[in-house]
Amino acid sequence: MKIYKVLPLLLIILLTAGSFAQQKKVNQLPIFDKHEVHWGFYLGWNNSDYKLTYKENDFPNTSVRFDNKTGFNIGLIADMKINNSFNLRLEPGLISNESTLYFLDNDNLGVFDNYASTPIESTFLHIPILIKYSAMRLNNVRPYLIGGFSYDYNFSSNQDSADDNFSGQFRMQSHNFMYEVGFGFDFYFHYFKFSPSIRGQFALTNEIYYDDPSNGPSPWTDPIEIMATRSLFIKLAFE
């Protein structure tokens, strides 16, 4: 199931849970937000594709299509209080996702006859530094906005491979920088705080690694000017 299809249901659950939490009269974890530092972990799902920008090249009627699947993410949380509304957060973790890339020859000239698709199985070390803005707590619920920047290392990039698409090997950049924004709710329970959120993540750098020009014009990478990740995350945090 595409992650986008469950978003309306998730929003309804979050808003309904928020309304229910506001009716509670006993505040759980009343001094939790007074701690200068606290820790936690998260897990969740992601759905990623790529924004492509094309440029003038020797293969003007070619294009690329992605068939992406829902992936998984897991990580740790370190949270430092700045003041009553703002917190600085470090959320290092691992992101795993999978997609299939299809090279399309719109003129049917046979430029991709030997190699027209490739799976992309990516695992990233994700290191974001985020600012969290929390609104006023209402009994046992507190809405928040979050955003910041991240460094992502792609373990599966194949950047160092001597083979390129002429040998059937698609390559991407190993080092990438992203920005992310999102919103969520903190729900206070007796022993822990549960914080579901929805995040969008967008690449700031070009992630494609171009084929060796000594092999001649490449129909796989020459048409692409920028290839940049666009991801939607559902995160479930426990703090």
Q: What's the pLDDT score for residue 11? A: 58
pLDDT, tens only, 221-233: 999 999 999 999 9
**Collapsed DSSP state (helix, strand, coil) of residue 214:** helix
Q: What's the pLDDT score for residue 123? A: 93
Domain assignment present for 225:
yes
What integer best gives the mean pLDDT of the chain? 87
pLDDT, tens only, 127-166: 999 999 999 999 899 999 999 999 999 999 999 988 888 8
Our count of domains for the chain comes to 1
From the CB of residue 104, how many other CB atoms can be counted at a distance below 10 Å? 13
Structure tokens at 223: 């048409």
Domain assignment present for 160:
yes
Phi, psi of 230 (to 5 degrees): -130, 120
**Collapsed DSSP state (helix, strand, coil) of residue 98:** strand
HEC string for 141-206: EEEEEEEEEEEEEECCCCCCCCCCHHHCCCCECCEEEEEEEEEEEEEECCCCEEEEEEEEEEECCC
Higher-pLDDT residue of 82, 55: 82
* Structural domain span for residue 166: 3-25+37-238
pLDDT band for 101, please (50, 70, 90 cuts): confident
Q: What's the pLDDT score for residue 4? A: 52
Listed range (44-58, 101-115, 164-178) with the worst mean pLDDT: 101-115
CATH number, position 176 = 2.40.160.20
Q: What is the pTM of this model?
A: 0.83
Span 165-185, average pLDDT? 93
At residue 202, does pLDDT exceed 80?
Answer: yes
Residue 127 pairs in a beta bridge with: 151
pLDDT band for 24, please (50, 70, 90 cuts): very low
Q: What's the pLDDT score for residue 1? A: 42
Domain assignment present for 32:
no
Higher-pLDDT residue of 168, 45: 45
pLDDT band for 107, please (50, 70, 90 cuts): confident
Q: What's the pLDDT score for residue 151? A: 97
Domain assignment present for 30:
no
Q: What's the pLDDT score for residue 62? A: 85
Domain assignment present for 31:
no
- Distance, in Å, from the CA atom of 201 to the CA atom of 149, rounded to the nearest integer, reads 9
CA distances to 15, 17, 61, 126 from 10, in Å: 9, 10, 40, 24
Residue 100: CB partners within 8 Å, gap ≥ 6? 66, 67, 68, 117, 118, 119, 120
